[in-house]
Structure 1
């Protein structure tokens, strides 16, 4: 009996999803998603349809990066980002360290009093299960709360004061500190393992022993969950091989 082939992760252990940006209007009259940052993952948007923008806060200051079909934008850990809807905006999202964002490597720009209380933060960040009206309402409340905190950070940064932005980064780091050991294991089994496999393959080629090529294969996947409520929009998810699978 032939053993089943082992699962094959995406290149480099990355994560992938598709997003249709929210068209809910915010307090500042802008339609879009929930501002947040990632602690250890770089994220990239590949625009596949429509138009919009991604607003970012970083040591570079405030930026409004236009998005249109064919655009590619990416942002490193610590960059606050907000997806803005300009008209049927759709993106494919590539995420470094697949598995870590799902394990909590993202913090919303909620007001400071919520960030300071892990229980209040968890209550505000967690959505009820399903994709019905109750979940949509909760996702919109979460988005509005994140925008409330974000607008304070943006106003200060535009005025030349990055203190609130820095304070938010510190608060986000405190919130996730206890998760780091679990993240480290996911990283070792995912992105690090992928890099180490390449090293082993280079060693095999250098030694004239490319036996690993006999394991060549192809895989395909379709969305296993469509239209879920993500941070920035309605999200199509894929059940992809990842750390530990």
Structure 2
């Protein structure tokens, strides 16, 4: 069946891409309990340039601080809290109980890892792509003699990165409180400059993920409307493994991730 929403009138591609539902990625996050210069423990403030992000709180208590078009907001986090936010929202996780854990759902699996996120460093760092890259990069675990040394060095680099992002964030937060959401314009412009040269390489994440799955759903609806259901006979159960070794030192905490690209069918 042709797709009237497509200018070329071609059929939608059939076959569901293998991927987590919605082209999303999931991870388990233990929010950092390291204190920062304002006395609060937590993660690195940042924004995403093309992806929404959602949280399901599993345990502990904390706060999500956000800077957006609505200004500065603090949202309490307790077990069972569900929330999400759109691209451009500056977000900072605060770990008030010391044991805050979340399931994180990221739109556009693969995009954040490709550089979709921009940290809230001071303006002089955001204006220098080479310096931004230098202070953001966490050393690879493979470069150290043993796991304990690797974790210590990775944690040190992650903490330095977090502290620099908090420094820029606190100044930005003061401006947003005083001026409203328009105070974010300079950060948003800096973020666009930092990702502009990468963005052309991001399309495949979108095409094979959310777009591919949406097109497959369209094909399924076309088939069902015509009384066909052959796709039901292709039903499959998939699983994905978590890579061995220590948790990743993410922007907001220690991450357990799953290799969705390596997903495999069961049975």
Cα distance in 1 for partners of 2:139, 2:125 equals 19
Cα distance in 1 for partners of 2:250, 2:122 equals 20
Paired residue secondary structure (2:247): strand
1:32 to 36, 42, 45: 42
1:170 to 186, 189, 198: 189
Cross-structure match for 1:41: 51
Bigger radius of gyration among the two: 2
Deviation at 1:221, TM superposition (A): 3.2
Cross-structure match for 2:199: 180
1:69 to 79, 82, 93: 79
Unaligned runs of 5+ in 1: 1-5
Deviation at 1:53, TM superposition (A): 1.1
Cross-structure match for 2:221: 202
Deviation at 1:220, TM superposition (A): 2.6
1:53 paired to 2:50: no
Cα distance in 1 for partners of 2:261, 2:237 equals 13
Unaligned runs of 5+ in 2: 1-15, 142-149, 263-267
The two structures have a TM-score, normalised by structure 1, of: 0.93
Cross-structure match for 2:114: 103
- What is the correspondence of 1:12-31 to structure 2 with a 5 Å cutoff? 12-31=22-41
The two structures have a TM-score, normalised by structure 2, of: 0.86
Runs of 4+ that moved beyond 3 A: 161-164
Aligned length: 238
Deviation at 1:227, TM superposition (A): 1.8
Contact 1:19 1:235 in 2 (8 A): yes
